[in-house]
Chain A
Amino acid sequence: MAVVSRTLAQNRVAAVGLLATVLLGSAVALIFFYAPTDPDQGFSQRIFYFHVPVALTAYACFGWGAWKALRVLWKRDEAADLESYVAIHQGVIFGALTLLTGSIWAKASWGVWWTWSENQLVLFLVLFLFYCAYFMLRFSVEPGPSRANMSAVYALFGVVLIPISFLAIRLSQKFIHPVVFTLHGPQMAGSQFFTFCVSLAGMLALFATLYAVELAGKRADADIRELRALLS
């Protein structure tokens, strides 16, 4: 036990990864054995416990990417460029999962895989496609300060879409997409909210793990390239 705790203390990535595993494992147990079945939507409402945390994590990834992009432009922090890129990459993965799980939930609840009349869905798709185009921009420019600056400006523009996407269903007059979080608090039972919080914490821990591992991989890749150049 002492060896395990010492290893985790020395390796924060492993600790966060373990935390993500425990939280997501607990979340799955809570979702299927603790949270009550929703009287309106039935069993399919259980998709909510993964779909919404995945969507919020995608927003967090894009927000973190924008913060790092701001550091590139403001502090001239060269390392922040790679950090911003990795955060946005993770955001696109979580964004794709949001669209996939949302589509499955839509089919189960509304009988259709997608509907263009829903602002929330369309705005999330726009946000997702906007950040997909980030990679086209980034890889069409030679590596260097100009690429870092252009990528940072683009990442900052995208973050403006996040509050619009989040508020879309609250501003819309006509919607079928459920609104759970209102100004009066979460519209669900305490046990459902607790399950949701555990799931959200698990997703955020998963993002932190994936972010740290991908960043370490990219940095190792860059170090090896540098070493090869020195040895050649």
Chain B
Amino acid sequence: MSAPQSPPSEWQYVAAAYLVVFVAVLAWIAIIGAKLQRLQRQLAELVRRAADRG
């Protein structure tokens, strides 16, 4: 038998709203970080290719 669940209180809704914004910004930073790493790899490859050409 499960215990009855009480509805979320007001502060839980407020915390959820602020958490949504915070998580979105963090996700955005992670995506941009991954993109920067990809650009760095591609640039390093191009530098190596240019060096091979002399």
Contact = CB atoms under 8 A, between A and B. Distances in A.
Interface size bracket, B side: 20 to 34
Contacts of B50: 231
B1 interface: no
A46 B14 contact: yes
Contacts of B17: 47, 50-51, 100-101, 104-105
Interface in A178-232: 206, 210, 213-214, 217, 220-221, 224, 227-228, 231
B32 A214 contact: yes
Interface size bracket, A side: 20 to 34
Nearest to B42: A224
A224 B43 contact: yes
Given A93-B24, A206-B25, A47 B13 contact: yes
B26 interface: no
Given A206-B25, A224-B43, A227-B46, A108 B35 contact: no
A213 B36 CA distance: 10
A104 B15 CA distance: 10
Contact of B10 (A50, A100, A108): A108
A115 interface: no
B37 to A, nearest CB: 11
Interface in B16-54: 16-18, 20-21, 24-25, 28, 32, 35-36, 39, 42-43, 46, 49-50, 53
Contacts of A220: 39
A107 interface: yes
Interface in A104-138: 104-105, 107-108
A104 B11 CA distance: 11
B49 A231 contact: yes
A47 B36 CA distance: 33
25 contacts: A28-B18, A43-B10, A43-B11, A44-B10, A44-B13, A47-B13, A47-B18, A50-B21, A96-B24, A97-B21, A100-B17, A101-B17, A101-B21, A108-B14, A213-B32, A217-B32, A217-B35, A217-B36, A217-B39, A221-B39, A224-B43, A224-B46, A227-B46, A231-B46, A231-B53
Given A50-B21, A227-B46, 20 more contacts: A28-B18, A42-B10, A43-B14, A44-B13, A47-B14, A47-B18, A50-B18, A51-B17, A97-B20, A101-B17, A101-B21, A104-B13, A104-B17, A107-B13, A213-B32, A217-B35, A221-B35, A224-B46, A231-B49, A231-B53
